[in-house]
Amino acid sequence: MAQGIWIVAEQREGELRKISYELVSEGRRLADQLGQPLTALLLGSNIKEKASDLGKYGADKVIVADDERLATYTTDAYAAVIAELAQAHEPAIILLGASVQGKDLSGRLAAKLGAGVAQDCVEFSIDNGSLVAKRPIYAGKAYATVTYKDSVPQIATARPNVLELNEPDESRSAEVVDASFSLDDSQLKTKVVELQQEAGGKIDLTEAERIVSGGRGMKGPENYNILEELADLIEATVGASRSAVDAGWRPHSDQVGQTGKVVSPNLYIACGISGAIQHLAGMSTSKVIVAINKDPEAPIFQKADYGVVGDLFDVVPALTEQIRKLT
């Protein structure tokens, strides 16, 4: 019978990403409920030394697949290796990150294993030995609670920034084993040609703890410097509404909302954003929402924990100034 929980750790250029620790933390809680072991899969090249970190967060065992061809994520290579390992070891549950990588991988893996997949979940529990997952639908306008039927394994991806992170326990260590897999070059059809990193190495919106977003009220691309200044001070990432993106003021990758990024930061500051339903759908799971808008009737105020009615060109620089005084 299928046994145990697996999480698929995520690394980029040899560094573990935060979602990996979130997955181990959640996996630990679920493994304890089930009374089964937690295994982390780590794929990469010269990556073995990172395995101990996963142990500190709660993995009992780390299976390391170390191969040059796994250095950078490709669907072909990762899906082939993980499917082969899953067939050999038969885990009951596989959790991945609902990152770009995890969302790309989950369906492919599910198809290879003939299993069900629940994408982008925000809450997990175990009921009667089965995984139960809660996931936003309609970009968070509703939630669906789902479970699995005759699915071995039960596959799910977890939204970044939502699951609680364990305190690392320095005294814990995981058993580290080398994976045995047969990766044939003929399976590798796609090739990564290049990774273009965004300038400044800023944190992606989906992973950011704090976001300062600007909408049409910003009046033009040149004015985003006042948001950048605030963002730099509080270590935030700058986002935008669709109007600002479609006007060409900000890149598509900055768009927050139903047809942009769905974000869950601790702090979301919306500046000159009216709060259209599609925008709200993308950010209403933020822990604290601040709205700065000169129109007291703007719908964004209905979602905001703190609302400031005023001209953003006065309020934002003043806020930056005041926060600087506090620090």
Partner 1 sequence: MNCIVCLKQVPDTETQIKIAQDGMSVVTDNIKWVMNPYDEYAVEEALRLREKFGGEVTVVGVGPKRVTESIRTALAMGADKGILVDDPSAAGSDSLGIARILAAVIKDLDYQLILCGKQGVDDDYGVVGSVLAELLGIPQISVVVKLEVSEDGATIKAHREVEGGTLVIESPLPALVTAQKGLNEPRYASLPGIMKAKKKPLDVKTVADLGLDAAQVGEGGAKIKVLKLSPPAEREAGKMVDGETPEEKAANLAKLLREEAKVI
Per CB under 6 A, contacts with ligand FAD among 230-289 are 241-244, 255-260, 272-274, 276, 278-279, 282
Q: Are strands 154-158 and 237-240 parallel, antiparallel or unpaired?
A: unpaired
Confirm or reject binding of residue 74 to ligand FAD (CB under 6 A). no
Residue 203 and residue 231: Cα distance in Å, rounded? 11
CA dist., res. 216 & res. 136, Å (int): 27
Instruction: Find the radius of gyration of the CA atoms of the chain.
Output: 21
Query: Cα(2)–Cα(87) distance, rounded to whole angstroms?
Result: 10
Q: CB of residue 26 vs ligand FAD: minimum separation in angstroms?
A: 28
Nearer to ligand FAD, 127 or 141 (CB): 141
Cβ neighbours of residue 90 closer than 8 Å, sequence gap 6 or more: 1, 2, 3, 152, 153
Judged by CB under 8 A, the residue of 24, 82, 96, 289 near partner 1 is: 289
In the bound state with ligand FAD, the residue whose beta carbon lies nearer, of 157 and 293, is 293
Total of residues contacting ligand FAD (CB under 6 A): 27
Of 41-60, binders to partner 1 (CB under 8 A) are: none
Q: Find the binding residues for ligand FAD in span 114-143 (CB under 6 A).
A: none
Nearest CB to partner 1, comparing residues 67 and 104: 104
Q: How far is the CB of 256 from partner 1 (least distance, A)?
A: 12
Instruction: Tell me how far, at minimum, the Cβ of 145 lies from partner 1, in Å.
Output: 5
Nearer to partner 1, 58 or 136 (CB): 136
Residue 132 in contact with partner 1, rule: CB under 8 A: yes
DSSP code for 301 = G
Kindly tell me which residue out of 47, 304, 312, 319 binds ligand FAD, with binding defined by CB under 6 A: 312
DSSP per residue over 15-83, as a string? EE-HHHHHHHHHHHHHHHHHT--EEEEEEESS-GGGHHHHHHTT-SEEEEEE-GGGSS--HHHHHHHHH
Indicate whether 234 belongs to the interface with partner 1 (CB under 8 A): yes
CA distance 161 to 289: 16
Can residue 138 be called a binding residue for partner 1 (CB under 8 A)?
A: yes
Residues in the chain: 327
Q: Are strands 5-8 and 38-44 parallel, antiparallel or unpaired?
A: parallel
Binding site for ligand FAD (CB under 6 A): 215-217, 241-244, 255-260, 272-274, 276, 278-279, 282, 293-295, 298, 311-313
